[in-house]
Amino acid sequence: MPTDAEHACFEAGIKFGSLYHQFAGTPVSPASAESLARAMEEAIENQPHCVDVDVDVRTERIREELASSSADYTELTGRFIDVEMRVEYADVAVRTRMEMEDGYPLMKLVGVEE
């Protein structure tokens, strides 16, 4: 049987997979970034055991991408978002983060509190 800590970590992984793959490819612009971030947070916080989600859409990176384009928007990818999440299962809380590392949106475990 998995421990409560292992179960909490598994739940966090499920939430990250859902967040990333549900929203990747969504049209985003500097003007819509904030509302998209709130929608992402609220959608994932609906899931069981998810206590808090904080999505930061990096509008400066979006502006940089749009500077060399004739379009008014781009597609959401991991390079445009930083995410922090807290999941609680039983008496265990896990903190996680997703941020770019070596050109890849890396999702990682930050801490486990029992």
The tens digit of pLDDT for each residue in 86-109 reads 999 999 999 999 998 998 999 999
pLDDT number for residue 111: 96
For the chain, the average pLDDT equals 96
The C-alpha atoms of residue 46 and residue 35 are separated, in whole angstroms, by 17
pLDDT number for residue 90: 96
The C-alpha atoms of residue 1 and residue 110 are separated, in whole angstroms, by 23
Classify the phi-psi angles of 38: left when phi > 0, otherwise alpha if psi is within -120 to 50, otherwise beta: alpha
Kindly list the distances between the CA atom of residue 38 and the CA atoms of 9, 69, 77, in Å, as whole numbers in the listed order.
Answer: 23, 26, 16
What's the average model confidence in pLDDT over 49-69?
96
What's the average model confidence in pLDDT over 32-48?
97
What's the average model confidence in pLDDT over 25-49?
97
Question: What's domain 4-113's superfamily in CATH?
Answer: 7,8-dihydroneopterin aldolase (MptD) (3.30.1300.20)
